[in-house]
Structure 1
Amino acid sequence: MPGAAEARGARVRHFLFLQGPLSPLYRRIGARLSEAGHRVTRVNFCAGDWLHWHGRECRFWRGRLADWPAEAARLMAEGAITDLVLHGDTRPYHRPAVLAAQARGIAVHVSELGLLRPGYMTLARGGLGVLSRLPDDPAAIRRAAARLGEPDLSPRYPGSFALEAWQDVAYHLPNVAGFPLHPFYRRHTPSHPFADYLAWALRLAGGRRRRNEAARVEAALLGSDGPLFLLPLQVEGDYQILAQSQFGTMRAALAHAIAAFRDGAPKEARLVVKAHPLDNGAVDWRAEIARHAGADGGRIAFLDGGSLAALFPRLAGLVTVNSTAGLDALRAGVPVATLTPALYDMAGLTHRGPLAEFWQAPRVPDPALLADFLKVVVASSQLRGSIHNRAGLDEAVETMSARLLDERVPDPDWHVEPPPRLARARAMGVPL
């Protein structure tokens, strides 16, 4: 029986799925694409992948990572692949596949958690972050926004920590047990699951003490005088740090920011280093701060908890590598400096000079340009839904399937080649 696409006389496409988020999302999207009459192939690399999606359309790759680029290229050529779908575009198995797809003119669709959480997922054509095709030219953003309506930015689908934790455990522990079946598999996470879960157990056990301490520190900071700058930490091992920054580790980025603060910030200014909400506590950030702060330790505070939004009205500025916290800060009217070209890093929104200038004279973002930027971001890559909420998952399946089935060429006003941030990032040492 012909599929829906064949029945309509539409082009039958062949979607190749690699690793997705820790969720049934990709399996359910694949089923929708198949129902629409298109071909779907999924490559599994480990037991966790298989548990999330197995069936006749799935195949295993058990070879060595060094051999994967050639295998990915073969799959695309022999399978007449038209579209590549993956979660994150710089994981060890994903980056070679993206390059192979681009060499053959295959459309690349990259998913990630939404930039405007909660309530959105990201599905971007071409790449994310430094590899994004979204313009970084204010004039182009304004031109594109002029044809768009106001986006709905209301929060939806609050996340469930219990669901998120269960999804993580249900994926990673089978990979440990199934190691003999895929001995060459290279995980994309930085630490062994047992080490990660032990760190989390210890962190959760001290949760009440940590929350009380964070409330005390936050209250003191809100009541303090002088300029207050914030550095929100990103998770060690995050590919925004590993692959999309020049630092390679968050510890190196922290050392860089502290050194710049000590050298250039006013003596009355303070720097707050805030732990990421999903930090497992394996890195002793207090010790890292003390190691680099030296005689200026009294000017640098560590906040392990508390509310990012509560700090915004008090901040003179926020410094980040490329975290979405920077976009949250811009939306709150806080001056932002990025250490590497983030998606939202553009003239008129972020500081575009050395940190020495930022500490002394932080400039607030242009609210009209920010409103236009948000319009274009939502239209180009943000879709309603969530993988950490059951109702949100249902909507994500609908919105992301519809976007993948839409064959219209991306609007040239919000999709430019080559990636406009890439040359600047490479000049800074970003390994892409």
Structure 2
Amino acid sequence: MASPGRRCFLFLQGPTNLLFAKVADRLRARGHEVHRIHVCVGDRIFWRGPGVTEYRGTLADWPAFIADFYDRHGVTEVVLLGEKRDHNKVAIVAGHAKGIRITVTDFGYFRPDWVVVERDGLNGDSHFPRDPEAILQQARGLPPIDRRVRYPHRAVTQAAWDMTFHLSSAVMRRSFPHFRRHSLNHPVVNYLATGWRLARGPIESRRAARVVQAVKRSGPYCIFAMQMEDDYSLRAYSPYPDLDAAMDEALRSFAANAPAHAHLVFKLHPLDPGLKRWRHRIARLAAKHGVAGRAHFIDGGDLDALIAGSHGLVTINSTAGLRSLELRCPTFAMGQTIYRVPGLAFDGTLDDFWMKAPAPDPALVEASLRLMAATLHVRGSFYDAAGIEAAAEGMAYRLHHGRVNQPLAAVLRGEIPRD
């Protein structure tokens, strides 16, 4: 493959690991110029290499700063994680105005060892086609996905590195006095609460099993796949300010339109910190809508097994929706998401979903999954040493060769694309 010309890459906020630093090393080795802007101490910790600028100004002054930085350094491409974070949002708008390419990364739409590398944004901002015929045509000839896990997700490593990032940024505020975190709750509070919740895991899992058994004996059921409220995609790509509002809407619709003997099971996200008393909140909302005996909360259980026995899954825009489609389960997305496509997620109203939703089109599901994997991902993991190296190699290849949002069959085979 012919080598593209020399370009100038700017790395903004990234994941809490050295992935961006390793991608930058590979781009420099290919002859490109690389810059990095730090907006907090955590950024500084997870970077190695030259070309660093530290921004200590206010968010109000950031638009003029970033526009000037683009011009002074001749930036041609920007790489970032979290397209809806305050500094990144401004940088994207300024970049588009100057014809600069924006590449966004995050955890993959598939789990555990896939990393998104996508143009401009994810979910509602994704350029993935929403036309079924276009998906089928573009996926034609792509090989099956090799889903064998090559790189584990190490939750303990994630917790340690997240804490390092956030604690350092909080304790050393004087270095970046105007920086404000993007998360709703302080990470220390989140992790302490999550630790307590996980310690209760065996108890909650047994309780969840009893609830599911009772529900299955009582009649048909649907699932509401809950998301973490700290997940920015919940607020950025949906009309709901929080999870409570979405659950209230789902229960209102369920009470008015679902079969009288049907049940709705709310499944907690595995990494939810448990700061809200979800069981009590759901019970209160169920009573409000007159379905007190038909709405249930579980913390634990096997999602695949739960989906296999259900009549449908509702979510805001969780990746659990993709898994539901893969298992041929009727699925409804209340927010904007990559799989809100006719023939995949139900394209009618939520009120109609409970009675009228068909199973997704199997051919379209398979084509969509292959196309998503081939065009929007590299293999790797944020919190595993070998997984970071693999993701860095794959990202650098896509960036160097201009193959972001372009199909790479090697990714489907579980391989690392190389020059």
Whole-angstrom CA distance in 2 between matches of 1:262 and 1:10: 58
Cα shift at 1:54: 4.5
User: Is 1:336 aligned with 2:331?
Assistant: yes
Given the alignment, which residue of 300, 303, 307 partners 2:295? Answer: 300
Whole-angstrom CA distance in 2 between matches of 1:251 and 1:99: 31
Whole-angstrom CA distance in 2 between matches of 1:91 and 1:9: 33
Q: Secondary structure at the match of 1:393?
A: helix
Conservation of the 8 A alpha-carbon contact between 1:264 and 1:355? no
Cα shift at 1:40: 0.6
Offset from partner CA, 1:16-67 (integer Å, 9 cap, x none): 1011111111111111111111111111111111000144311111111222
Given the alignment, which residue of 263, 287, 311 partners 1:270? Answer: 263
Whole-angstrom CA distance in 1 between matches of 2:404 and 2:258: 47
Q: What root-mean-square deviation, in Å, do the aligned CA atoms of Structure 1 and Structure 2 show?
A: 1.8
Offset from partner CA, 1:91-140 (integer Å, 9 cap, x none): 11111111111111111111011111122111011221111111100011
Q: How does 1:7-406 map to 2 (within 5 A)?
A: 10-221=4-215, 223-294=216-287, 295-406=290-401
Identity over the aligned pairs, expressed in percent?
A: 39
Whole-angstrom CA distance in 2 between matches of 1:140 and 1:13: 32
Whole-angstrom CA distance in 1 between matches of 2:4 and 2:142: 28
2:415 match: none
Whole-angstrom CA distance in 1 between matches of 2:3 and 2:377: 30
For normalisation by structure 2, the TM-score amounts to 0.92
Unpaired runs of 5+ residues, structure 1, are: 1-7, 413-432
Whole-angstrom CA distance in 2 between matches of 1:193 and 1:304: 21
Cα distance, 1:60–1:146 mapped onto 2, change above 3 Å: same
Whole-angstrom CA distance in 1 between matches of 2:272 and 2:148: 27
Cα distance, 1:167–1:348 mapped onto 2, change above 3 Å: same
Q: Secondary structure at the match of 2:259?
A: coil
1:417 match: none
Conservation of the 8 A alpha-carbon contact between 1:120 and 1:384? yes
Conservation of the 8 A alpha-carbon contact between 2:159 and 2:191? no
Whole-angstrom CA distance in 2 between matches of 1:93 and 1:298: 46
Amino acid at match of 2:355: Q
Unpaired runs of 5+ residues, structure 2, are: 408-419
Conservation of the 8 A alpha-carbon contact between 1:12 and 1:39? yes
Whole-angstrom CA distance in 1 between matches of 2:92 and 2:347: 30
Amino acid at match of 1:39: E
Cα shift at 1:411: 5.3
Whole-angstrom CA distance in 1 between matches of 2:113 and 2:3: 35
Whole-angstrom CA distance in 2 between matches of 1:303 and 1:21: 30
Amino acid at match of 1:260: S
Whole-angstrom CA distance in 1 between matches of 2:364 and 2:235: 30
Amino acid at match of 2:234: I
Q: Secondary structure at the match of 2:292?
A: helix
Cα shift at 1:217: 2.2
Amino acid at match of 1:66: A
